[in-house]
Amino acid sequence: MNGLIIAVFVAVYLGMALGRWPGFAINRTGVAMIGAVVLMVTQALSGSQAIQSIDFSTLAVLLTLMVLSGQYAASGFFDWVADRITHMPLSSRSLLGVVIGIAGVLSALMTNDVVVWATTPVLIRGLLERGLDPKPYLIALACAANAGSVATMIGNPQNLLIAHVGDLHFLTFVGRCIVPAVLAMGVVYLVIGRSKFMDANHAIAPRGSKSSQPCQLKPRLLLKAVLATIALIAIFIFVEDRGSWSLLIVALLLLNRKLGTERLLQQVDWQLLALFTCLFIVTGALANAPALAGDFQHLLRVMNIDHTAVLAGLSLLGSNTIGNVPWVMLLLPMGHWPDHLLYSLAIFSTLAGNLLIVGSVANIIVIEQAKAHDIHIGFGEFARIGVPVTLISFVLAGIWVMLSM
């Protein structure tokens, strides 16, 4: 049975690295689902073990954040922010700084994937109206969203997983992780601001388009979203059962006279939730096989995973091959993790997402939405920014980790 578990595990994580199985029209979610089904059908993992492997609290919080983002989207908040940014009378480099700052802050509060998905189209439109090349700003948006999301446990899915496994406190998490987040955002600005991308961007006055309508805020819907965000943060600070209480926020948001359920649930990425559920089962099978789990834990000890440089290097490799969330899900069930290692894992696994386009879902979202607007950001173009941003951020984060943890 151990041989079957290993075979399924390797096949699934190969699919995570490639994004598919060669020869099949199947994505990462489908790969993980097939792996989970095979493990359960063959009784490599019983039904009760499979259920115990699933982190329902993390899934509940993710669902809450997605529904909350639907409330913000319905209020016109994301469109309004992106529209205001691009119509400010700023120089190109000042505009770059504003994009980075706002993307980072918003990502820390409502997950990076949601922020880039909602703001990219309006940002592109505004930049084109100003006569500016959108490429440096879009790369900045992706990198800043990744960097800013480091700061809180609700900034991205892997932080949620890490915080839940370690039972970490919200404010302590912020205290340990906000400095690397801010430093990384500064690095994004410096690298892109000094790149050849910005040489072609000149300061010009905002130029409106007759075809574009000004973005309108809906104050009541926005107020409800802001209150829900405050309530969610309060839950993370004061309540132990974060999953159940966060679902109460979903229920209250759905209880609406004007905003339909369909509109709120448009932001829910059901495929992502299914992917996480199935990966929980696949990694759970490995963790529930004592011999395999023991061998893996021994390998981690031999590699000195508790050394900052080793953890950083492995996170850089894992996040840019199988993805940062699958990488974190692979590590967490394999033994007891001290708090300082969990914070380090959160920092490095997230910052690693800036290296290449495939390093994070946020990057892919920005690139695909840009392509839909006939703006093509190539692998090499992104890497010329992403590689120095990531390496410098890693050095600064490593210094912070060694000094503070």
pLDDT in tens, 68-88: 989 999 999 988 988 888 888
Query: Looking at the predicted structure, is the pLDDT value of residue 203 above 80?
Result: no
Decide if 98 is inside a domain.
yes
Question: Rounded mean pLDDT of the chain?
Answer: 90
Distance separating alpha carbons of residues 54 and 38, to the nearest angstrom? 16
> Under a CB-based contact definition with an 8 Å cutoff, are residues 206 and 130 in contact?
yes
Query: In the predicted model, is pLDDT for residue 207 greater than 70?
Result: no
Predicted pLDDT of residue 263: 85
Q: If 0-12 CB within 10 Å is exposed, 13-18 middle and 19+ buried, where does residue 218 land?
A: middle
CA–CA separation, 156 and 242 (whole Å): 16
- Show the tokens assigned to 156: 């991205």
Helix extents (H) in 154-241: 157-166, 170-193, 196-199, 219-238
Specify the pLDDT at position 204.
43
Q: Look at the pTM and tell me if it is higher than 0.95.
A: no
- Whether 207 is in a domain gets the answer yes
Q: Is 113 part of any domain?
A: yes
135, 14, 144: which is closest to 382 by C-alpha? 135
Instruction: Indicate the pLDDT class of residue 101, thresholds 50, 70 and 90.
Output: very high
What number of residues does the chain have? 405
Is 390 within a domain?
yes
Q: How far apart are CA 135 and CA 87, in angstroms?
A: 17
CA distance 350 to 359: 9
Q: What is the dihedral of CA 256, 215, 360, 269, to 10 degrees?
A: 30
**Into how many domains does the chain fold?**
1
Cα(177)–Cα(183) distance, integer angstroms: 10
DSSP secondary structure code for residue 345 in this structure: H
Residue 125 or 400, more confident: 400
pLDDT tens for each residue of 8-35: 999 998 998 888 899 999 999 999 999 9
Range of the domain at 185: 77-216+290-404
In a domain, 275, yes or no: no
Residue 133 included in any domain: yes
The DSSP annotation for 102-131 comes to HHHHHHHHH-HHHHHHHHHHHHHHHHHHHT
